[in-house]
Amino acid sequence: MIEFNFLEGEVLLFDKPLGWTSFDVVNKVRGMIKYHAKIKKIKVGHAGTLDPLATGLLVICTGKKTKTINEIQAEHKEYTGVITLGGTTPSYDLETEVDTQFPTDHITEETIYACAKTFVGQSEQKVPSYSAKWVNGQRAYKKARRGEAVDTGTKSIEILSFEVEKIEMPNVYFRISCSKGTYIRSIADDFGQNLNSGSHLSKLCRTAINKLKLADAISVEAFETLLDEKFKEQKV
C-alpha cells in the first residue's frame, strides 16, 4: 500500500477530466485529503493551469511540497491535440463558436508539415483575450465574455518541437513541446493564418511536464478509492 505524508508534502499526478477547471481538481483533492486523513488544514495547489476544455497531466502538491510549485511550473511541457482548419473562434478553441469560415482547398499536406516547422524556436506570442491574464485589475476572459475589447499583449515563448502526427482534413493532429506559459490556442489560431486560412484548437491534452508523465497519473476517482482503502486499513 502506498504511504502518504500530506503535511510533509506529496507531488501527485492527476489526469484532469474534460470540463473540470484546475481549481476544481485542487478543491476536490483537498477535501478528500482532509476527510480521509483527518487533517483540518492543509496547503494544496496545482503546478500549471489547464483550461476546462483540456485534459491530461495536472500536478498537485500538498503541504511543504507546495514550495516546489514554481519550480515545476518553469519546466517545459508537452501536449497533443487537434487543430481544426477552416474556421476561427473568438477564444481560439471551442469555448466559443466558430464565427468566421475560411477556404481550405488550397492547403496540402506538404504546406501543413512546412507550416509546423516555422513555429519551432523562440518567438513573441499573442496572449488570447480569453485568458486569465490580469488587464486593468480584471481577468481578460471576463472582459472578453462581455464583448469588450481586450489588449492582452504578447509574451516570449519557445517551441522546442512541433510534430504533425496525422492529417485528416480539416483536422491536424499534433504533438508540441514548449516552454512555460505557451498558449497552444494561440498556436492553433496562428496556424490557420499562416496557411492563408483560419483554424482553432478543437482538442488538447497535456502529456508531460519535463519528466513527469501523464502515463503515471491517476484519475480523481482512483485517488479517492486509494485513500479510502489506505485509511480504512489504518482504522482496522
DSSP 8-class letter at 169: T
Report the chain (236 residues): mean pLDDT per 10 consecutive residues: 85 97 96 93 95 96 97 97 97 95 98 98 92 84 86 93 98 97 96 98 98 97 92 62
In order of 28, 42, 43, 231, the CA distances from 34 in angstroms are: 10, 8, 10, 12
For residue 137, what pLDDT is reported? 84
Q: Report how far residue 120's alpha carbon sits from residue 65's, in angstroms, rounded to the nearest whole number.
A: 33
For residue 147, what pLDDT is reported? 85
Please list the residues that pair with 78 across neighbouring strands.
177, 208
For residue 96, what pLDDT is reported? 93
Same fold, 11-74+212-235 and 77-209: yes
Alpha helices in 77-137 (DSSP H): 109-118
Question: Given this structure, which CATH class describes domain 77-209?
Answer: alpha beta
Please list the residues that pair with 123 across neighbouring strands.
157
pTM of the complete model: 0.92
Q: Report how far residue 185's alpha carbon sits from residue 94's, in angstroms, rounded to the nearest whole number.
A: 10
Domain at 11-74+212-235: CATH code: 3.30.2350.10
For residue 236, what pLDDT is reported? 44
Structural domain spans, the chain: 11-74+212-235, 77-209
Active site residues: 51
For residue 140, what pLDDT is reported? 85
For residue 56, what pLDDT is reported? 98
For residue 91, what pLDDT is reported? 93
Q: How many residues does the chain have?
A: 236
Instruction: Give me the long-range contacts of 73-76 (CB less than 8 A, separation at least 24).
Output: 73/47, 73/48, 73/180, 74/180, 75/180, 75/209, 75/210, 75/212, 76/160, 76/177, 76/178, 76/179, 76/180, 76/209, 76/210
